[in-house]
Amino acid sequence: MYQIIDGKKTAAKIRQEIAGAVAQLHESGKRIPHLAAILVGNNGSSETYVANKIKDCAEVGIRSSLIRFNDNISESELIRAIEKLNNDSDVDGFIVQLPLPNHISENKVIESIDPSKDADGFHPVNLGKMIIGLPCFLPATPYGIVELIKRYKIPTAGRHCVVIGRSNIVGRPVSVLMSQKGIDATVTVVHSKTRNIENIILQADIIIAAIGVASFVKADMVKEGAVVIDVGTTRVPSGETKSGWKLAGDVDFEHVAPKCSYITPVPGGVGPMTRVSLLRNTLLAANQRKI
C-alpha cells in the first residue's frame, strides 16, 4: 500500500514554526520581516500565486506589500522599481512573479535583484552558491521538495533519482540539491530530447516529475516501490469545479499510485511546500540583515 506525502499538512506545520519565530521577534522588540511582491499584468495563475503568497505572510505574521504594474511597463521602468526595493531598508526580501511579458528579459530583471533580498533564490549569485553548497536562498519549489523528502525520512543516499525536466526554477536546481552531500542521490536529468525516456524513468527509485505535461508519467514507466514527487500544475478543463478548470499533475496518479511506496498528490503535495519555502527565505533574509 502506498503512502501519500501530505504537503498540505507538512506546510501547515512549517507555517506554525515560522509563526512562532516571528512571534519571538515581536516579543523581543525586533523588526517584523517584510516581503514585497511585484506582479506585472494579470495572468490568471500569477494572480492566484501572488494572492496566496500575501495570504501566507499574513497567516504567519510576516508583513507584505504587493506592487502591481500594467503589462505595458518597460523593462527599464521595471528595473527601476526593483532598484527602489533593493535600496528600501524596510524591505527584507522581494520577488518578481514570473512569467513576465515577452518584451521584458526575465534574466535581466532577475540579475537586477540584490542577491541578499532574492527571496525566490533565482539570482545567479544564489544559484551559484547553491551549486557549491554555500548557504543561500534556495529556489522555492526545490527547497520544498527536499524538505518534504527529509520530513518523511525517505532514504536518498545512493538511490537513483530521475528528474524529468530541466527548467531554471525546478528541474535544474532540484537535480543539484538531490546529489548534494547529505542527500547523496545518484541523479539523472531527462528532458524533451532524451532518448528512451520511458526506460530511464523506469530505473528510478525516486522520480521528480517537473515537465508541465499533464499525466506524462504512466504506470508502465514506474518501478514497483518507487517514490514519486509530482511538481506538475497544468490547468485542465473540468466540469466539477466552479472555475471550470482543475489542476493536473505530471503523473497519472490513479494508475501510478498503486505501484509506489510514496507519492505526492496534486493538489496538496509540492504546491503548499513551495509557498512555505518563500516564507522561510523571507525569515532568513530578515535574520541575515546587517543593519
Can residue 38 be called a binding residue for ligand GUN (CB under 6 A)? no
- Does residue 113 bind ligand GUN (CB under 6 A)? no
The smaller minimum CB distance to ligand GUN, of residues 256 and 276, is found at 276
120 scored as a contact of ligand GUN (CB under 6 A): yes
Nearest 5°: the CA angle 118, 123, 128 is 120
Active site residue 97: yes
HEC-encoded secondary structure of the chain:
CCEECCHHHHHHHHHHHHHHHHHHHHHCCCCCCEEEEEEECCCHHHHHHHHHHHHHHHHHCCEEEEEEECCCCCHHHHHHHHHHHHCCCCCCEEEECCCCCCCCCHHHHHHCCCHHHECCCCCHHHHHHHHCCCCCCCCHHHHHHHHHHHHCCCCCCCCEEEEECCCCCCHHHHHHHHHCCCCCCEEEEECCCCCCHHHHHHCCCEEEECCCCCCCECHHHCCCCEEEEECCCEEEECCCCCCCEEEECCECHHHHHHHEEEECCCCCCHHHHHHHHHHHHHHHHHHCCCC
Interaction residues for ligand GUN, span 192-251 (CB under 6 A) = none
CB of 96 vs ligand GUN, minimal distance in Å: 6
- Would residue 120 show up in a list of annotated catalytic residues for this protein? yes
Kindly tell me which residue out of 97, 112, 156, 281 binds ligand GUN, with binding defined by CB under 6 A: 97
Q: Which of 120, 205, 230, 250 is catalytic?
A: 120
Q: Which of 140, 148, 164, 285 binds ligand GUN (CB under 6 A)?
A: 140
The correct pick among 18, 95, 206, 217 for binding ligand GUN (CB under 6 A) is: 95
Catalytic residue among 92, 97, 117, 118: 97
Residue indicated by cell numbers 532568513: 284
Which residues pair with residue 227 across a beta bridge?
Answer: 206, 262
> Is 108 labeled as catalytic in the residue annotation?
no
Minimum CB separation from ligand GUN for residue 257, in Å?
Answer: 25
What CA–CA distance (Å, rounded) separates 111 from 118? 10
The count of residues interacting with ligand GUN (CB under 6 A) is 7
How far apart are CB 24 and ligand GUN at their closest, in Å? 27
CB of 19 to ligand GUN, least distance (A): 21
Nearer to ligand GUN, 43 or 186 (CB): 43
With contacts defined by CB under 6 A, name the span among 1-9, 59-67, 94-102, 247-255 that binds ligand GUN. 94-102
Q: Of 6, 53, 92, 117, which is the active-site residue? A: 53
Q: Which of 19, 98, 183, 213 binds ligand GUN (CB under 6 A)?
A: 98
Supply the minimum distance, in Å, between the C-beta of residue 169 and ligand GUN.
6
**How large is the C-alpha radius of gyration of the chain?**
19
Which range of residues in 55-63, 93-101, 182-190, 261-269 is near ligand GUN by CB under 6 A? 93-101
Residues that bind ligand GUN (CB under 6 A): 95-98, 120, 140, 169
What are the catalytic residues?
53, 97, 120
